[in-house]
Amino acid sequence: PPDVQELGRSTWTLLHTLAATYPRAATTNQKADMSAFLTLFAKLYPCWVCAEDFQTWMSKEKPVLDGRAGLGDWMCRAHNEVNRKLGKREFDCRLWEERWRDGWKD
């Protein structure tokens, strides 16, 4: 089975990078594409318990698709939900763009 930790780190890199490169103001098509991606991602993520909880969270907290700022904050809140579940420190979502767009290494 996949290594849930390694898979998680790589996947968060992809997800936050997708948010960081999402348009500042998304078109109808771009919103539809991101919505479809996230829905399928939540079904197909190959850690089944993770995927199930993520789908449940997404059904309550709809993706914010208007543009980069909203999507980035939504992704940060999604990640914090998992951080809380795992007893990890929460990330300050005011810093998501500094971490994932401008870039810092940890």
CA dist 79 and 104 (Å) reads 18
CA 73 to chain centre: 9
* Residue of minimal Cβ distance to ligand FAD: 8
CB 15, min distance to ligand FAD, A: 6
CA dist 16 and 2 (Å) reads 21
Residues that bind ligand FAD (CB under 6 A): 4-5, 8-9, 11-12, 16, 45, 49-50, 53-54, 76, 79-80, 82-83, 86, 88, 91, 96, 99, 106
Q: 87 in helix, strand or coil? A: coil
Nearer to ligand FAD, 27 or 106 (CB): 106
What's 99's DSSP letter? Answer: I
CB 21, min distance to ligand FAD, A: 15
CA dist 73 and 68 (Å) reads 8
CB 26, min distance to ligand FAD, A: 20
